[in-house]
A and B are shown apart, each in its own frame.
Chain A
Amino acid sequence: DAGVIQSPRHEVTEMGQEVTLRCKPISGHDYLFWYRQTMMRGLELLIYFNNNVPIDDSGMPEDRFSAKMPNASFSTLKIQPSEPRDSAVYFCASSLGVTSYEQYFGPGTRLTVT
């Protein structure tokens, strides 16, 4: 398996623009997680899904952020409109679930909002 795949790897956009980050989890994994990492706030969980259903989105900063998982092999994190304070590295991770809680992280998307 290729591991967790994220795209794009880098994104530079202007304030006010819509940003869509994409993730393909490892095949067969039941859980998918979206994290944001900054120097100031560390690694924050934004939202996670179990079998494509959102379980906890309490980490989503505000209504500008939304996430979907239309099927077991694809998820998106959308920011609309983007702001400079959204600049961060966004990681997607997946795990098997009860049999193994190990989370496999994707390479991350470095987002810069100017």
Chain B
Amino acid sequence: GENVEQHPSTLSVQEGDSAVIKCTYSDSASNYFPWYKQELGKRPQLIIDIRSNVGEKKDQRIAVTLNKTAKHFSLHITETQPEDSAVYFCAPKWGSQGNLIFGKGTKLSVKP
């Protein structure tokens, strides 16, 4: 099956700094690469996604970059704010159905 790894598992930054989380996957047929954010006690929610025909996508302070050759994609958060503190999951699509494989998560802490 699909093997998904996220690094780092925890990340602490100062407010205003940038944060980068990397996700590697094993299924070369994957064609959909989302990132989910889960705040403490809440449900996971999609924050940004990218399809395999695009290398980078931005939405205000967040961006996702994709390297299909190397089979990894990354989440970039600029000008971090305390409300960015959460657990972030990558979840590449696996197989021909609509199934996503969630990574173990990265706990981001933004210190004011």
Contacts and interface: CB of A to CB of B under 8 A. Distances in A.
A97 B97 CA distance: 8
Contacts of B45: 105
Contacts of A105: 43-45
A30 B105 CA distance: 26
Nearest to A102: B46
B105 A43 contact: yes
A42 B34 contact: no
Given A42-B105, A43-B89, A106 B43 contact: yes
A76 B101 CA distance: 22
Interface of B: 32, 34, 43-46, 49, 89, 91, 93, 97-105
Given A42-B105, A43-B89, A43-B105, A103 B97 contact: no
Nearest to B43: A105
Interface stretch (A17-25, A48-56, A66-74, A79-87): A48-56
Contacts of B97: 31, 48, 50, 55-56
Contact of A103 (B100, B103, B105): B100
Nearest to B97: A55
Nearest to A43: B102
A56 B94 CA distance: 12
Interface string A71-114: 00000000000000000000100010110011101111000000
Contacts of B43: 91, 105-108
A94 B103 CA distance: 19
A103 B46 contact: yes
B93 A101 contact: yes
A50 B96 CA distance: 12
Contacts of A30: 98
B102 A48 contact: no
A101 B105 contact: no
A101 B32 contact: yes
Contacts of B101: 45
A102 to B, nearest CB: 5
Contacts of A101: 32, 34, 49, 93, 98, 100
